[in-house]
Amino acid sequence: MGSQLLSYHNLHYMLQLSRNLHSSIIEGTFPEFVCNFLMKMFPEGDVPEWVCNAMEVAGIDISSCCTSFSSKTEVDTASG
């Protein structure tokens, strides 16, 4: 029974996430939606580099959410 409840929970979570994602696209607030999602998932600001890179390639500006990666890149570039 526990696994069924977990499955229902996961389905509900994914449906709600999809609805919110769809709404953000329609309203033109997708970058903000992504930033809010990333802040919830990575409260320490340690957004994976691949996420920041993927959004950049897709033309979606989430630079305000990828500050830890940007800062690291600037330090790496400055140090040589």
Residue 30, pLDDT > 50, answer yes
**Contacting residues for 31 by C-beta, under 8 A, at least 6 apart:** 60, 61, 62
Predicted local distance difference test score (pLDDT) of residue 66: 75
Structure tokens at 6: 């977990």
Residue 80, pLDDT > 70, answer no
- The CA radius of gyration of the chain, in Å to the nearest whole number, is 16
Predicted local distance difference test score (pLDDT) of residue 68: 55
Predicted local distance difference test score (pLDDT) of residue 29: 94
Handedness of CA 68, 23, 20, 57 (dihedral sign): negative
pTM: 0.69
